[in-house]
């Protein structure tokens, strides 16, 4: 962490670990803390004005969510986004979301939250924009939440930080157009409304594969 940054105001005792975790997560996802950067308990403690045990607990929460990695006898580091990671994250999403779409299509149940998120995307100016990440992710999460399964939701959210990190990388590199994303989402929802589960799953796979391949190509070129 940079020593030139102005330290945030000290946090209160209640919820201190969650508060530090949330601030660190936001900085990692925004790219303020770069891939591969170390996060030590001492640095987190000093930057956020919290005790070392609280700093350690916040770091461990981010390790558990997949945003940090820790190897034996070394400090935790921000996870690196490489082609192998991207492919695993996107294919895990495809497995879970495809199953959700088949189930929703059988009931012709179009999630209202997904429609709302896509409406936000449609209202955005055409062109790549990092601001699409939030409504885009809410669209996909709504597909899972519409199943009303606590365990499926928990499973999906176990990779959500890694999903968001990959999506931020895609849009940070201006690889996908907001209008294209919204149009593909609309096609998926149309298939669900028509009860065409296999078509919805195929559209989803093509949608996610496009983002996956573009990010893999960009990373490989770097």
| Sequence spans of domains, the chain | 16-78, 83-221
The CATH code belonging to domain 16-78 is 1.10.10.10
CB 142 within 8 A of CB 109: no
Predicted structure pTM score: 0.76
The CATH number fitting domain 83-221, selected from 1.10.8.100, 3.40.1080.10, 1.20.120.530, 1.10.3720.10 = 1.20.120.530
The alpha carbon of residue 18 and the mean position of all alpha carbons in its chain are separated, in whole angstroms, by 18
Q: Which residues contact 2 (CB under 8 A, 6 or more apart)?
A: none
Distance CA 13, CA 209 (A): 44
Say yes or no to pLDDT of 39 above 80.
Answer: yes
Distance (Å) of CA 186 to CA 138, 144, 152, 209: 14, 17, 24, 17
The string of pLDDT tens digits covering residues 180-217 is 999 999 999 999 999 999 999 999 999 999 989 988 88
Residues 126-160: tens digit of each pLDDT: 766 778 888 999 999 999 999 999 999 999 998 88
């Amino acid at each position: 962490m940079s020593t030139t940054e102005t330290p945030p105001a000290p946090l209160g005792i209640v919820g201190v670990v969650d508060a530090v975790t949330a601030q660190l997560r936001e900085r990692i996802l925004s790219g303020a803390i770069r891939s591969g950067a170390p996060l030590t308990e001492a640095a987190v403690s000093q930057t956020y004005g919290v005790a070392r045990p609280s700093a350690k607990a916040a770091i461990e929460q981010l390790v558990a969510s997949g945003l940090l990695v820790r190897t034996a006898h070394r400090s935790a580091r921000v996870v690196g986004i490489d082609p192998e990671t991207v492919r695993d994250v996107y294919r895990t999403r495809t497995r879970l979301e495809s199953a959700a779409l088949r189930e929703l299509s059988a009931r012709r149940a179009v999630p209202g939250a997904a429609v709302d998120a896509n409406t936000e995307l449609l209202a955005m100016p055409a062109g790549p924009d990092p601001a699409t990440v939030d409504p885009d992710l809410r669209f996909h999460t709504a597909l899972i939440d519409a199943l009303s399964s606590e365990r499926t939701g928990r499973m999906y959210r176990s990779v959500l930080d890694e999903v968001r990190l990959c999506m931020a990388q895609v849009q940070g590199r201006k690889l996908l157009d907001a209008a294209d994303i919204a149009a593909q989402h609309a096609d998926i929802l149309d298939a669900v409304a028509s009860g065409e589960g296999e078509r919805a799953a195929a559209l989803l796979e093509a949608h996610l594969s496009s983002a996956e391949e573009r990010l893999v190509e960009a990373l490989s070129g770097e």
